[in-house]
Chain A
Amino acid sequence: MTLEEIRSRLEAFVPGCHAEIVVNGSPSAQNSLLIDRQHGLQAAMYLRDHPELQLDFCSNVTAVDWPDREKAEKIKTKRIVDGVEKEVEETKKTTIPGYLEVVYHLFSIAKKEGPVVLRMHTANRTDEVTLQSLTPVWRSAEFQEREAFDLFGIVFEGHPDLRRILMWEGFTDHPMRKDYVPPPDDDLEILAVSEPGA
């Protein structure tokens, strides 16, 4: 089944679901499906249980951080300079709000096909970072979603055991975000100070 067919079926059979094809420009040509936030779980169930797709194996789950971007646009405006109307070029900066994205790579063991790439976006990067967990559909997402929660700060609703996995309990930041600033290296300083003669 082509991605376009999958997309139209998803929209037809999962009520309210909105799916969009994201074109991948690299030679790998692995295009992906962007699913809206509210229907991730239902769409995943559909993909797994559809007899022609049988995407029973969720191989890779990961997140990507897309921070706020600034887009500079040059626009021409008319303005009165020294009493004469002139056309002036101005750069207008618009901020494209950032978001966090999760990516699922699905394969079918039964049909030996794949990958079908699913993506979902959070509303923003700060306070609305909740997405539906797909662990109830594929257990293999369990640790990987925990990792995305830990390193990116995406909250997965419906995850059975959402705790930090690689960083320790009590750590507050999310190291894989692009704007993460590591704390000063305290350990090294202690080492240097405690070294006799240093």
Chain B
Amino acid sequence: MTQALPSEAEQDQVMEISMGPQHPSTHGVFRMDIRLDGERVLRLKPVIGYLHRNHEKIAEAASYLAAIPYTDRLDYLCSMTNNWGYALAVEKLAGLTVPERAEYIRVIVSELTRLQNHASVVGFLLQDMGASGTPLMYAFREREKVMDLFESLSGARMMCNYMRFGGVRVDCSAEWLSQAAKVVAGFNGFLDEFERLLTGNEILMARTQGVGVLPRELAINAGVTGPGLRASGVNYDLRKVDSYGVYGRFEFRVPLGEHGDVYDRYMMRVLEMRESLRILEQALRDIPSGPFMDPKARLRGLRPKVGEAYARIESPKGELGFYLISDGSPNPYRYRVRPPSLINLTVLEDMCLGQSIADVVVILGSIDIVLGEVDR
């Protein structure tokens, strides 16, 4: 039996669909205008701004201190790293130094943030592929332990508001450190379990390998950062390149992918968690005693000299940058966040073209966006 070729009219059937803003796979209020030929994506335009609250304008009207709690709400999974990025920018602008102990605490909480972020991202990615709940709930079970640590340290589970210019808000107790060490020790077991559950899974491999390939040159040119860039084989991790804080003292490797597909991006996250655990072990072992705030730093009424500063850190999503211009007044003249989630979205269309619509969901999940940061 020969199959009839589709008629010309049928071939021309192109469908335009709007995915989101209320769609379970868009991780928030995010919309994609997609043009489809059958199931194949011909064009994809991200539409954002549903969560826009002009964070930058708010921060320009507020004092330097008052902007910190707002940074929590950018990438609301990783408030600690957001705090750090902003604190680092203000420290550069005002020329403050950070005591050793505070630097170690910052590393510890940031790596814990990375752990819980990557664990949930992998969980969500699997959820997007149809593994409803199970991997995500395992990830959340582990994330919960990290959040408990954050709560007992800073008072809040997600909106930590913990770092200050020139240090951190409160010191951590020896008891907290030993609790953190316990969580870190238990995390390896969870990762083993996670990998047994997923890494060799044939369905996972079929859904992710060769899907959403991001070529190396495009990744660099489009400013993709974080695990997405490294999955394409570019060795660029700001913890190594800039060695901000005390990252220069720790021994860890930067995992690199080969193919730049969704599977590699998934593996990057799993491997990065392992490296984060190594950093954590070293930091928890070496943390010195001493002050946790620069004595020169003042909480209120900070008036940096006229000038500007750009600081960037390796947040779990990628390069998180803060650009500040001071005109000598108590609030920044210009305050800018370089959101990794937004810029990583630039290549969404390139990765999705020619793929099926079911893969769009997976590719989006592998980029790891948080709309609080995309829209600001």
Contact A30 B223 (CB under 8 A): no
Q: Is the pair A139, B222 in contact by a Cβ cutoff of 8 Å?
A: yes
B220 at the binding interface (Cβ < 8 Å): yes
B319 at the interface (CB under 8 A from A): yes
Q: CA separation between A30 and B307, bound complex, in Å? A: 9
Q: Which of A26, A56, A117 contacts B305 (CB 8 A)?
A: A26
Interface residues of B in 303-338 (CB under 8 A from A): 304-312, 319, 321, 323, 325-326, 333-334, 336, 338
Instruction: Tell me the chain A residues, 22-55 only, with Cβ under 8 Å from chain B.
Output: 24-28, 30
User: Does B221 lie at the interface of the complex (its beta carbon under 8 Å from any beta carbon of A)?
Assistant: yes
- Chain B residues with CB below 8 A from A103, complex form: 323
- Of B218, B308, B312, which is within 8 A of A28 by CB? B308
Q: What bracket does the count of chain A residues touching chain B fall in?
A: 20 to 34
Digitize A151-172: 1 where CB-to-B-CB distance is under 8 Å, 0 elsewhere.
1000000000000111110000
Q: Does A59 contact B (CB under 8 A)?
A: yes
| Contact A60:B334 (CB < 8 A) given known A112-B241, A139-B222 | no
Beta-carbon contacts under 8 Å, A1-38 to B = 24-28, 30
Stretch from B142-150, B253-261, B340-348 contacting the other chain? B340-348
Expressed in whole angstroms, the Cα–Cα distance for A151 and B309 within the complex equals: 21
- Is A98 in the interface zone, CB < 8 Å from B? no
Whether a CB of chain B sits under 8 angstroms from the CB of A72 is no
A140 within 8 A of B: yes
Contacts of B336 in A (CB 8 A): 60, 62
Tell me the bound Cα distance from A30 to B321 in angstroms.
14
Given contacts A60-B338, A62-B336, contact A27 B54 (CB under 8 A): no
Distance (whole angstroms) from the CB of A45 to the closest CB of chain B: 13
Give every chain A residue within 8 A of B94 (Cβ-Cβ): 26-27
| A25: B residues at CB distance < 8 A | 305-307
Secondary structure call for the B interface: mixed
Q: Which of A60, A138, A168, A176 contacts B221 (CB 8 A)?
A: A138
Q: A residues within 8 A CB of B56?
A: 151, 176
Task: List 7 A-B pairs, minimum CB-CB distance, nearest first.
Answer: A140-B223, A26-B307, A27-B95, A28-B309, A139-B222, A166-B49, A28-B92
Residue of B with least CB distance to A112: B241
Q: B93's closest neighbor in chain A, by CB?
A: A26
Task: Please give 11 more A-B residue pairs, beta carbons under 8 A apart, in addition to A59-B223, A141-B223.
Answer: A24-B307, A26-B307, A26-B308, A28-B307, A58-B223, A105-B323, A139-B218, A139-B221, A142-B222, A143-B345, A166-B375
Residues of A within 8 A of B234 (CB): 109
Q: A64-B325, A64-B334 are in contact. Are A24 and B308 (CB under 8 A)?
A: yes
The interface residues of chain B lying within 8 Å CB-to-CB of A64 are 325, 333-334
Alpha-carbon gap, A64 to B336, bound state (A): 9
Taking the complex as formed, is A57 at the interface, i.e. its CB lies under 8 A from any CB of chain B?
yes
